[in-house]
Amino acid sequence: MVVIRFADAEGKRRALEALVGGFSFKSWSSGEMLVPEDALPQLAREDIPFTFEGSAAYEKLATLRDLAPAEV
């Protein structure tokens, strides 16, 4: 799994549409997504620009999590 980032909300929306149903992923409001490496060629074929942030090391994922509890 790798972390990628999108420059804008439109790019992220297009990526979500391209990946749903075919790949598992996690998305954060910061614009970053955790995707399998196999998903990167799919995004390239769809001409969706993204920035490769790196591998999904625990330390990286810990900084992305929102630790604040959600109100119910």
Record the tokens describing residue 16, joined without a space: 């979500």
pLDDT tens for 27-47 read: 888 888 999 999 999 999 999
Q: What is the pLDDT of residue 40?
A: 94
**pLDDT averaged over consecutive 10-residue blocks of the chain (72 residues)?**
91 93 89 91 94 74 57 64
Q: What is the pLDDT of residue 38?
A: 93
Cα dihedral 22/23/28/34 (nearest 10): -150
d(CA 35, CA 26): 7
Q: What is the pLDDT of residue 49?
A: 94
Q: What is the pLDDT of residue 7?
A: 87
Q: What is the pLDDT of residue 57?
A: 65
Locus of tokens 């391209």: 18
The answer to whether the predicted template modeling score (pTM) of the entire model surpasses 0.85 is no
